[in-house]
Amino acid sequence: MSTHDHDHDHDDDHHHGAPPSPMAERVKKLETLLVEKGYVDPAALDVFIDTYENKVGPRNGAHVVAHAWRDEEFKAWLLEDATAAIASLGYSGRQGEHMKVVENKPGLHNLIVCTLCSCYPWSVLGLPPVWYKSAPYRSRAVIDPRGVLAEFGLTLPDDTEIRVWDSTAELRYLVLPQRPDGTKGWSEMALAQLVTRDSMIGTGLAIQPGGL
């Protein structure tokens, strides 16, 4: 069973499919010029992008999740007012001004998508992965979420409800994955190591102890 939630309608402010901003165009031209003149190694640039896409950015979100796992009061605040709770840990800014956190529970799994472009909470997840921005993911996540999850290697029980949340320019989502069993008494730092970017999008689960 799956459902598709729209807390806010996409509207003209979303600018789906709009051309790159003047700043984005300038950045791209500068990047091209630096590469052509040999000032920047394309391979090094790729490493830099990978670092912010997969390591630095998602560590912010992992901290948020681990803190919620250890602190029930913070977790309640996070689920009620995610924007304020996340900001209290020092994570805010562009692409993360308005946040909503949705919690995975037994029998319920949440999946995040932006059906018309690629709205994404940069402040807690870093740069969006290429697949998140792809048309196949954006369309199929709503039509066949169970099939999409299977392609990511995540097969859920048939009776698990899959709830799809559609991000907008006004509101972005973060999944609070279920805390793995066997982690009672773990430090926040240790718990954060179990939280992956994909588990906070919903295309994966938190890492089980011993799976690091």
**In-domain check, residue 104:** yes
Q: What is the C-alpha to C-alpha distance for residues 128 and 88, in angstroms, rounded to an integer?
A: 23
**In-domain check, residue 206:** no
Q: What pLDDT does 52 receive?
A: 57
Q: What is the CATH number for 108?
A: 3.90.330.10
Q: Which residues pair with 162 in a beta bridge?
A: 2, 109
Q: Which residue range(s) make up the domain with 136?
A: 2-8+20-201
Does the active-site annotation cover 114? yes
Q: What are 166's two structure tokens?
A: 């559609």
**In-domain check, residue 208:** no
- Count of structural domains within the chain: 1
**In-domain check, residue 163:** yes
Q: Active-site residue among 2, 88, 92, 117?
A: 117
Is 123 annotated as belonging to a binding site?
Answer: no
**In-domain check, residue 15:** no
CA angle in degrees (0–180, nearest 5) for 120-124-130:
40
Is 118 annotated as belonging to a binding site?
Answer: yes
Q: Active-site residue among 114, 123, 167, 199?
A: 114
Does the active-site annotation cover 187? no
Lowest mean pLDDT, pick from 8-17, 28-37, 96-105: 8-17
pLDDT tens digits, 146-187: 999 999 999 999 999 999 999 988 899 999 999 999 999 999
Spatial contact of 195 and 67, defined as CB atoms under 8 Å apart: no
**In-domain check, residue 210:** no
SS percent in the chain: helix, strand, coil, step 5: 45, 15, 40
Is 21 annotated as belonging to a binding site?
Answer: no
- Region 25-50 average pLDDT: 64
**In-domain check, residue 13:** no
Is 134 annotated as belonging to a binding site?
Answer: no
- % of the chain residues with pLDDT over 90: 59
Q: Active-site residue among 119, 123, 167, 199?
A: 119
Q: What pLDDT does 12 receive?
A: 38
| pLDDT surpasses 60 at 6 | no
Q: What pLDDT does 127 receive?
A: 84
pLDDT tens digits, 38-80: 766 667 666 656 655 555 568 999 999 999 999 999 999 999 9
Spatial contact of 164 and 5, defined as CB atoms under 8 Å apart: yes
| pLDDT surpasses 50 at 15 | no
| pLDDT surpasses 50 at 8 | no
**In-domain check, residue 145:** yes
- Measured CA to CA in angstroms, residue 32 lies from 28, 29, 35, 98, 151 at distances of 6, 5, 5, 33, 34
| pLDDT surpasses 50 at 3 | yes
H-run or E-run covering 174: strand 172-176
Q: What pLDDT does 18 receive?
A: 41
Q: Active-site residue among 2, 88, 92, 118?
A: 118
Q: How far apart are the first and last CA of the chain?
A: 31
pLDDT tens digits, 113-134: 999 888 888 889 988 899 999 9
Q: Coil, helix or strand for 28?
A: helix
Q: What is the C-alpha to C-alpha distance for residues 132 and 140, in angstroms, rounded to an integer?
A: 11
Q: Coil, helix or strand for 175?
A: strand
- % of the chain residues with pLDDT over 70: 72
pLDDT tens digits, 80-106: 999 999 999 988 765 546 899 999 999
Does the active-site annotation cover 167? no
Average pLDDT, the chain: 83
Does the active-site annotation cover 119? yes
